[in-house]
A and B are shown apart, each in its own frame.
Chain A
């Protein structure tokens, strides 16, 4: 078991960062997430990520698509602070990912990763417990969050094994957003669901995003999902993982399901797929 690192930021350093952030704001440009010259290689492995430079503005919804094994999940884990880059730098709102307050970045795993011995409500409550943030409003917060992701009050007391795959994923999403994060990182969250359910959850995720305006990075290998959701799609190439294309998605929000049958949507999906093909062929 890897040992736990608890890194508290020294007050002086904290002040310095705050000042720095103000300065940056003064000059009118402060990307929420900044990834500069990031390389990542694992022991006995080729480079997984090579020279990644990405800036993500506040409240942007960015999807990363790429062939499997291209390192897109690794990149997301670096932004979450679950791993550190071999070289280069990542800052989220001016801080290094591992220095950030836990409540300000949330992560949704590929599998629901629910604790089987806790009910849906108990699972959603967990981040608040771990961050020592439980108070009298907590039960209400948990109920509200569950209904926000479309779970019925009667589902709150069910154990994960009694919930369908879609409901488990909704619970997992509720657990991520219950702390009101500013940054939401999603690692192929709907990959295991059937297509209709995936589309439905995509639409619900967008309407939640419209309310909460998280800065969002969404990793997927599904091109249409990426285009439907995002302001911007990054295409990653294979070994070493590099950003091969950075495509703006011009469609207005709020988007609804009709967008999927729009010819411009199909055209853009085709473009992204073409980039993806090239990236995979390298």
Chain B
């Protein structure tokens, strides 16, 4: 994706695919005569979206979840980069800490979410913590890899100039790692949205209202499947937007350095 030039076709073709999928979906539901609470047709979902109050609610919920995901993601980037800087300092530090970093990748987030809520209360902070936990690992692995795999020739250049450890870290290792950090951030951005939604399954959302996760659970429990689909679509779009945003930042940062 990175190496391909953005052209008109790269926008048009996915839209064509989407149209085909929606058409097939409509046909399947009409021909198969599915019950609406089992599998709503695209037109049923469109009906739900036609309602102004519903649209306003969707927008508000998406914004709340987006805010929580952004908070969790920012925390994950800050904590992840700091951890990586620490890990890059010595092999023994990496060896001591890395197994516990893997914890953040392997922990079933659903299992510890209730515990997080006990600690941080029902509200935005719990949602952000769950989001941060789930999006932390890719930041740590990618950034650490970037920090410790600098070009040996460039490192020799620094040694020849008697660079201090601090200079090597800030003028060589950190800039070398930015490419890796961006890769980690792209993975994490989507995970942060997932984390926020999972958090909202349990807490509902923030003080000022409910997020997407809460409505997904609610509409699912009430078997309001067309509404459920609307919230699902918003969750997906939120993840896509997060990914695209980070990709844009990456393009902007790296275009001058890398062909």
Chain A residues in contact with chain B, CB under 8 A?
1-2, 4, 6, 80-82, 102, 105-107, 109, 111, 113, 115-117, 126-127, 129-131, 159, 161
Contacts and interface: CB of A to CB of B under 8 A. Distances in A.
B153 A111 contact: yes
Given A111-B153, A161-B257, A129 B171 contact: yes
A117 B257 contact: yes
A111 B167 CA distance: 22
A159 B257 contact: yes
24 contacts: A1-B155, A2-B155, A4-B159, A4-B163, A4-B168, A6-B162, A80-B160, A81-B160, A82-B160, A102-B162, A106-B160, A109-B156, A109-B157, A113-B153, A115-B172, A115-B175, A116-B258, A126-B157, A126-B171, A129-B167, A130-B158, A130-B171, A159-B256, A161-B257
Given A116-B257, A116-B258, A82 B158 contact: no
B107 to A, nearest CB: 30
A6 B164 contact: yes
B13 interface: no
Given A115-B175, A117-B175, A117-B257, A130 B163 contact: yes
Interface in B142-156: 148, 150-151, 153-156
A117 B179 CA distance: 11
Nearest to A123: B157
A113 B157 contact: yes
B154 A113 contact: yes
A198 B159 CA distance: 28
A195 B259 CA distance: 26
Contact of B258 (A2, A105, A107, A161): A161
B14 to A, nearest CB: 30
Nearest to A114: B154
Interface in B26-81: none
A113 B161 CA distance: 14
A60 B164 CA distance: 32
Contact of A102 (B160, B175, B259): B160
Nearest to B155: A1
Interface of B: 148, 150-151, 153-165, 167-168, 171-172, 175, 178, 256-259
Contacts of A4: 159, 163-165, 168
A109 B151 CA distance: 13
Nearest to A77: B156
Contacts of A129: 167, 171
A183 B99 CA distance: 48
A109 B160 CA distance: 11
Contacts of B178: 117
Given A4-B168, A126-B171, A129-B171, A109 B161 contact: no
B257 A107 contact: no
B150 A130 contact: no
A131 B160 contact: no
Contacts of A107: 157, 160
Contact of B161 (A117, A127, A159): A127
Nearest to A118: B175
Nearest to B150: A1
B162 A130 contact: yes
Nearest to A159: B256
A129 B163 CA distance: 9
Nearest to A109: B153
Nearest to A1: B148
A109 B152 CA distance: 12
B156 to A, nearest CB: 6
Contacts of A127: 161
A126 to B, nearest CB: 7
Contacts of A106: 160
Nearest to A103: B161
Nearest to B160: A107
A2 B150 CA distance: 11
A107 B164 CA distance: 18
Most buried by B among A80, A105, A111, A116: A116
Which 3 A/B pairs are nearest by Cβ-Cβ distance? A130-B161, A102-B162, A116-B257
Most buried by A among B159, B162, B164: B162
A103 to B, nearest CB: 8
Contacts of B175: 115, 117
Nearest to A162: B256
B181 to A, nearest CB: 13
B74 to A, nearest CB: 23
Contacts of B160: 80-82, 102, 105-107
A102 B153 contact: no
A115 B154 contact: yes
A81 to B, nearest CB: 8
Contacts of A2: 155
B156 A82 contact: yes
Contact of B167 (A1, A115, A130): A130
